[in-house]
Structure 1
Amino acid sequence: MAGQDPRALIDYAALDDTTLVALARAGRREAFRQVMQRCNRRLFRVARSVVHDDAEAEDVVQEAYVNAFEHLSEFRGEAALTTWLTRIVLNEANGRLRSRKPTVELDQIETLQREGGRVIAFPSRFGSEDPAADAARGQIRRLLEGAVDDLPEPFRLVFVMREIEECSVEETAACLGLKPETVKTRLHRARRMLRAALHDTLATTVTEAFPFLGARCDRMTHTVLARIAAQVRDEV
């Protein structure tokens, strides 16, 4: 149509990363928007695995994007765009860790204890039709998230990229500046540490669950006995 902006006809979602970067360099903001939409989830999870805070992880990713946009001319395509951006996010996140004060305010601790951390999203396949099932899935998710959060950072980063983001060994190695063999070794150790941590945590959780199960058992027994007693009275 006459007078229509030709930029509106571009299907940015169909373009590859190299083309998007070229368009972004030329000032096409919509191209960079598409880059962010493709990379947001991975970059947030990587940042979150370093800074341990949702809000700060978002801020890290935003700052990294601004930095990346200002230095798009430095992207040579020698590595994948996500790899290049991941390195920028890691630099920003680690820089923040180095600048942190060694003490944490009490209200921050209380807030974290109340809200908990989120690393892995486990969507429910079955909706929310069963509150008890939803509560159980939520408890399992919190246990897993806590166990991942407690991994030492070198192992946590590898685990998040390999198991959660499903990156290849080679891509993980490129992002983190490691040898592929080191990625494999760290992932193996991360899995082993998670198994040990979850074993201990689940053992405690199961032990603590028995009083609840016992209370339910008592309630059911009382109900059945009351019904039997009522039937006996009716028969007399």
Structure 2
Amino acid sequence: MSPETVVPHQQRDVLSDEEVVTRVLAGDAALFEVIMRRHNQRLYRTVRAILGGDDEAEDAMQDAYIQAYRHLGQFEGRSSLATWLTRIAVNQCLSRLRKQRHIYPIDTELEKKMIENIDDARPGPEKQMLNREVRRVLELAIEQMPARYRSVLILRDVEGLSTAEAAEALGMSVEAVKVNLHRARTYLRKALKQKGGETLSDLFAFEDPRCNRIVANVMAIINTL
């Protein structure tokens, strides 16, 4: 299959992750594209949260997908495919950070508190302008956080993973996830003081050109394996 081949939307939408994995392992390598397109947004947000830059995040994602493809037979279904892929991507990021000697220690104390949802009732263009400004403030604040805060925040509050799922994906204890999430939310709350309107789900959007580029690059490599 050439990297330009398009997998039908019907297959992408109907097949479960487990069914796609089974078919890829049976020799239908083209369906690995379904896995990538289905999980690109989550992996991009996670990887970018750890590494802090678009270009390096893109490279790390491609390497993670190649590793996942090579070891797809090791996916046993004990966790979701999303968690399994996230763990591979996180390990790829940590490997890169170790080379840069930027690894942060993990905290162990237990704290808890939830960030308040921000609601804004102002109408039309005014609200849209405010939303863009708040998103800019949010993204800047997240980029300035320590990596351990960013990664936990993205997985829990943006991607909606449970505490246990985030802990498994990041290789942290459940208590460490709770501590780092509380600190990340506190950090954001300070950055967003007197701001309102944007939701975390809109952060670090994964545009189609980047998605298509990653898919094409990975599929081109897979076709040579």
TM-score for the superposition, normalised by structure 2: 0.66
Following superposition of structure 1 onto structure 2, how do residues 1-236 of structure 1 map, counting pairs within 5 Å? 11-100=11-100, 130=125, 133-199=127-193
Q: Give, in angstroms, the shift of residue 17 of structure 1.
A: 1.6
Is the alpha carbon distance of 1:79 and 1:101 closer, same or farther for their aligned partners in structure 2, counting shifts above 3 Å? Answer: closer
Q: Give, in angstroms, the shift of residue 101 of structure 1.
A: 8.8
Q: 2:192 aligns to what SS in structure 1? A: helix
What's the % identity of the aligned pairs?
A: 38
TM-score for the superposition, normalised by structure 1: 0.63
CA contact (8 A) 1:148 1:194 kept: yes
Q: 1:11 aligns to what SS in structure 2? A: helix
Q: Give, in angstroms, the shift of residue 29 of structure 1.
A: 2.3
Amino acid in structure 1 at the alignment position of 2:96: R
Q: Give, in angstroms, the shift of residue 133 of structure 1.
A: 5.0
Provide the aligned length of Structure 1 versus Structure 2. Answer: 169
Q: Give, in angstroms, the shift of residue 187 of structure 1.
A: 1.4
Amino acid in structure 2 at the alignment position of 1:87: R
Is the alpha carbon distance of 1:12 and 1:138 closer, same or farther for their aligned partners in structure 2, counting shifts above 3 Å? Answer: closer
| Structural RMSD (CA) | 2.7
Q: Give, in angstroms, the shift of residue 45 of structure 1.
A: 0.5
For the residues of structure 2 that align with 1:159 and 1:43, how far apart are their CA atoms? 13
Q: Give, in angstroms, the shift of residue 53 of structure 1.
A: 0.9
**Unaligned stretches of 5+ residues in structure 2:** 1-6, 103-121, 196-225
CA contact (8 A) 2:47 2:60 kept: yes
Amino acid in structure 2 at the alignment position of 1:145: E
CA contact (8 A) 1:44 1:61 kept: yes
Amino acid in structure 1 at the alignment position of 2:48: R
More helix as a share of residues: 1
Q: Give, in angstroms, the shift of residue 72 of structure 1.
A: 0.9
Amino acid in structure 2 at the alignment position of 1:191: R
Q: Give, in angstroms, the shift of residue 64 of structure 1.
A: 0.7
Q: Give, in angstroms, the shift of residue 12 of structure 1.
A: 4.4
Amino acid in structure 2 at the alignment position of 1:171: E
> Which one has a bigger Cα radius of gyration?
1
CA contact (8 A) 1:155 1:187 kept: yes
Amino acid in structure 2 at the alignment position of 1:86: T
**Unaligned stretches of 5+ residues in structure 1:** 1-6, 103-125, 203-236
